[in-house]
Amino acid sequence: MEVIYGLIPFMIILGLGAVGLLFWAARNGQFDDMEGEAHRILMDEDLAPEIKEQPEKEEEKKAS
């Protein structure tokens, strides 16, 4: 029973530390983009990027 007198203050300090850590993380932007990382893991980065054709300029069409 005597151990509870030491555990209660310890748990209060631990709880306040966790709340402080939560506020620190929110202030530093840890929760700004919750969806981006979830979608990024699904993308295949090992595939070669597609080469898009550039539209011909009007000057090249007139010269032809």
- Please give the C-alpha separations between residue 42 and each of 21, 31, 35, 37, in angstroms, as whole numbers: 30, 20, 12, 9
Q: What residues contact 31, with CB distance under 8 A and at least 6 apart?
A: 25
Q: What is d(CA 20, CA 23) in angstroms, rounded to the nearest whole number?
A: 5
* pLDDT tens digit sequence for 18-64: 999 999 999 998 888 777 777 777 776 666 667 777 666 665 666 65
Answer yes or no: pTM beyond 0.85.
no
Q: Answer for the pair 36, 42: CB distance below 8 angstroms, yes or no.
A: no
* pLDDT tens digit sequence for 11-30: 999 999 999 999 999 999 88
